[in-house]
Chains A and B, each alone.
Chain A
Amino acid sequence: MAEDAKDQPEEPRHGVRGFMEKVRQVTYGMAAHDMTRYALRTRASMEHLFILVTMGDMLGVPILPPYYSMRLLPYVVPQVSTWKRRMLREKDVTDAMF
């Protein structure tokens, strides 16, 4: 996309600096946005994986001794319902979209 921007006809001289600055911002913004989104998605997956390995027995997958997994319980309370939905739902097309 950044290539396209560079290929555009030159703007009047006084505007070039400003324009290039915009391009740089857009490029950076787009790349960074992707990276951020990717990082957050990866992190969310890991978060779910983490809850699975610690709280697995909620879905019938016992892993950590419950005595100690209970120590972690307070920290995952907000994620528990989304995690359950994610882990138990069937895979479909929308998986690729979000």
Chain B
Amino acid sequence: MAATSTRAVSLAETFRQHPERRYVMFGGKGGLGKTTFSAATGHWLASQGHKVLVFSVDPQASLSDIFQRDIFGKGPVKITENLWAQEIDADQHIKEYQDEIRQKILDMYGMESVPEEIEDYIAAASAEPAMEESAIFDSVVDIVNQGDYDYYIYDLVPLGHALYYLSMAKVYDEWITRITKLREEMREHQEMVARIRREKEVEEDQILAELRFIRDRINTASGILTDRQRTAFFFVLVPEEMILVDTKKAAGLFEAFNVPIAGYIVNRVIPEDLLGEDVPPYLVNRIEMQRKYLSRIRDDFGDQILAEVHEMERDVTGMDMIEKVAARMYGEA
């Protein structure tokens, strides 16, 4: 633990230096400890007196496991003083959304039931994989818009999803701008007809309003990931070759999409003070290997490394273990 203390302060320091930050994210390959760090950071920030929401949209969400509470699809659940956790049920969200659309159609046209053709479309659309990503990011907008918390810790789904969404957002923004233009031109024609026929003003184009709404939602969602002021994105990695290579690649991609990378956290570092006495060669080899990659990580990322966290003696579940990890990350008891 002694080895981590000097660096650990710097992670805590970044939070003190940037009180304007609101959205905290830990990204990295699966299984490196994103959820653990999310929970530990939530715990630490809450202990500093901030109101914190840790939330996840992963269908295989693990917040329930780490907090040892069943919170899936139950809205924000209070874990301890100032700390709340939420697991979004994307499927449920999609179902409710579909029902809303159906109800709107019935209301608008006074129909008894939704026409078959339309019903087919709703069913087919929901089967698309992009549906889930959009639903996830859209529900994040709802959570963040409510603005009930000081910090939002976003336990991200694996990196690919976020990148996929960001690239979608870029294309959609452009695309919606264009169809908005088309819609406005349509309106001009409509107005001309109205003028010639001396009819009253054409009614407001509701589709145009919807398009603007959609663009706003997409931009808010991608803005949460790319806000230079309020977003802190931390990469989690472990001292192993593959992870190092992949992390660099991912970091490059994220930078290309303007995600502000706040720093790197190295996890699963085997404490060197285990060396000595009768150490089996297996462990010696692992420590040797880690030493090699740690020095490469330090060379490559330098002072962007905010913490090096030791491999824990057991898996992290329950508040006691979360507290321990938080202490190692933030260097405070």
Residues of chain A touching chain B, judged by Cβ–Cβ distance below 8 Å, are: 32, 35-36, 39-40, 42-43, 46-47, 49-50, 53-55, 57-58, 62-78, 80-81, 84
Contacts and interface: CB of A to CB of B under 8 A. Distances in A.
Interface string B183-203: 101100110110011000000
Q: What DSSP secondary structure best describes chain B's contact surface?
A: helix
A84 B101 CA distance: 21
A25 B259 CA distance: 64
B206 interface: yes
Interface of B: 94, 97-98, 101, 104-105, 108-109, 115, 117-118, 121-122, 124-126, 128, 130-131, 134-135, 138, 168, 172, 175, 179, 182-183, 185-186, 189-190, 192-193, 196-197, 206-207, 210-211, 213-214, 217-218
Given A57-B124, A65-B130, A69-B125, A43 B189 contact: yes
B134 A72 contact: no
Nearest to B120: A58
B179 A66 contact: no
A58 B190 CA distance: 26
A70 B128 contact: no
A71 B117 contact: no
B112 to A, nearest CB: 14
6 contacts: A32-B196, A39-B193, A50-B186, A66-B134, A74-B108, A80-B115
Given A39-B189, A49-B182, A50-B183, A70 B125 contact: yes
A72 B105 CA distance: 10
B168 A65 contact: yes
B189 A40 contact: yes
A54 B108 CA distance: 19
B140 to A, nearest CB: 13
A73 B197 CA distance: 30
Given A47-B186, A57-B124, A77-B115, 5 more contacts: A64-B172, A72-B211, A74-B101, A75-B206, A77-B108
Given A70-B98, A74-B101, A46 B196 contact: no
A9 to B, nearest CB: 32
A89 B206 CA distance: 29
B125 A75 contact: no
A36 B182 contact: no
B122 A70 contact: yes
B129 to A, nearest CB: 10
A60 to B, nearest CB: 10
B128 A71 contact: no
Contacts of B210: 71-72, 75
Nearest to A78: B109
Nearest to A47: B186
Nearest to A40: B193
A46 B183 CA distance: 8
A77 B101 CA distance: 11
Contacts of B115: 77, 80
